Amino acid sequence: MSGRLAYSAEVSMSLRCCTLFCAFLLLLASREFFGKTAHAAASPWLGRSALDAMELFEHAMSLMREHVLPTARIHRVIKNGGAAANIIPDYSKVQVWLRDANIAAVEDLLARMRKAADGAAMATETRAKVTVLASVRDPVSNEVLGRTMQKELDRIGAPRWEERDTAFAKALQKEVGVPEVGLAAEIVPFGPGHGDTASSDIGEVSPAIPLAELRVATRPLGTASHHWATTACSTHPLGTKGMMVAAKVLGASMVDLLADPAAVAAAKAEFAKATRGKPYVSPLPPDAKPAVL
- In whole angstroms, give the CA distance from residue 182 to residue 67: 38
pLDDT at 290: 73
On whether the CB atoms of residues 84 and 9 are closer than 8 A, the answer is no
pLDDT at 5: 37
Specify the DSSP class assigned to residue 159: -
- In whole angstroms, give the CA distance from residue 240 to residue 235: 7
Specify the DSSP class assigned to residue 277: T
pLDDT at 12: 65
Burial 235-269 (b: 16+ CB within 10 A, else e): ebebbebbbebbeebbebbbebbeeeeebbebbbe
**Across-strand partners of 200?**
none
Q: Which of helix, strand or coil describes residue 283?
A: coil
Chain centre distance of CA 265: 30
Give phi and psi for 277, each to the nearest 5. Answer: 75, 5
Q: Name residues of the chain where pLDDT drops below 50.
A: 1-9, 17-24
Residue-wise pLDDT for 65-118, tens only, equals: 999 999 899 999 999 999 999 999 999 999 999 988 888 898 899 999 999 999
pLDDT at 80: 95
Element (H, E) at 104: helix 103-124
Rg of the chain taking only CA atoms, in angstroms = 23
**pTM of the predicted model over 0.75:** no
pLDDT at 235: 83
Angle at CA 198, nearest 5°, toward 29 and 61? 40
